[in-house]
Amino acid sequence: MKTTLFRSCVFIALGTMFFSCAKDDAAVLESATNVSSQALNEAEQFAWFPTYKEVDPGKDASGSLNTPTEPRLNFPYGPDDEIPKRYPFKVIDKPDLGYVNETCLFDIADLERNKSYHKLQNGSLRIGFFDDGFEPIRLIKLPSSSESGWNAHWGTTPAVEQEKPDVLYYNTWNSRSIIIYLSKPCTEFGFEIAPNNKRSTHSFIVDVGDWLNDDSKGTVSVETKTPSGAALAAIKATKPFRMVRIWSIGSPTLPLAEGMAISNIRYTLAK
């Protein structure tokens, strides 16, 4: 029953998909809103300071902060009567040739800059972004190493694929997690990540599974910094999964990320 509920929630939220998978499929516009150019002014201590207002044309002309119109997703907890079994997995720490060749790139190059997105899709997969309260959120497409975008150097090879990639940015001041829902089961998922905070290193934890707070299919912790310290967080699982959760670690003794950017999203669909 719970399995049926889970599948229904995911497909209602993310919709139907194409059934072909092409390498390096380009993402297409899905639920975008304009972000003013003023929002992209550089702040001295930040890679990008989130002072923008997202306006849903025709519904709220005055604009408000982070108010997407997509429905909340009631993502179910795992079974109460059993402890989830943990399955073997492999952590991939560098985007080497083997990793690149066996995965599909979720290409964001054609997405419009300085717009925000709740859902993205390509020829084989749709992904949706939610916060840790399961409310839909939007990530902003920003050009890298640009005064009007992500103005810090991303990283160096072989730790990352490119030194100046376009990124998807999310303000984590109000939420320390991003939950990515996948319209199809995957066995491999990865991306490069960096914090907005330029003043210190920062750790992120990435879990993959099927339920809320489920890391049974794999988990990895990566240490990052900005500038020049983006890192790959990638997991190759032995069992399919539909959920990816990014945790931004923070405490009174650990500085907050104050926002995060991800790039070069890669995946392998389950067979």
Among candidate residues 253, 156, 165, 245, the one with its CA nearest the CA of residue 202: 253
Confidence of residue 47 (pLDDT cuts 50, 70, 90): very low
Higher pLDDT, 192 or 211: 192
pLDDT in tens, 33-44: 323 333 333 222
Confidence of residue 257 (pLDDT cuts 50, 70, 90): confident
Name the residue type at position 140: I
In this predicted structure, the answer to whether residue 167 has a pLDDT above a threshold of 80 is: yes
In the predicted model, what is the mean pLDDT of residues 86-99?
A: 97
In the predicted model, what is the mean pLDDT of residues 135-156?
A: 85
Q: According to the model, what pLDDT value does residue 51 have?
A: 27
Residues constituting the chain: 271
In the predicted model, what is the mean pLDDT of residues 73-100?
A: 81
Q: According to the model, what pLDDT value does residue 252 have?
A: 56
Q: Cα separation of 227 and 42, whole Å?
A: 14
- pLDDT, the chain, mean: 74
Among candidate residues 64, 68, 70, the one with its CA nearest the CA of residue 52: 64
Q: According to the model, what pLDDT value does residue 27 have?
A: 61
pLDDT in tens, 93-127: 999 999 999 999 999 998 988 888 888 989 899 99
Q: Cα separation of 189 and 268, whole Å?
A: 7
Residue 110, class by beta-carbon neighbours within 10 Å (0-12 exposed, 13-18 middle, 19+ buried)?
Answer: exposed
Tokens 């104050």, residue?
A: 258
pLDDT in tens, 189-205: 999 999 988 878 889 99
Confidence of residue 6 (pLDDT cuts 50, 70, 90): very low
Quote the DSSP letter at residue 227.
Answer: T
pTM, two decimals, is: 0.75
3-state helix, strand, coil in the chain (%, to 5): 10, 40, 55
In the predicted model, what is the mean pLDDT of residues 133-145?
A: 84
Is the distance from CB of 64 to CB of 128 less than 8 angstroms? no
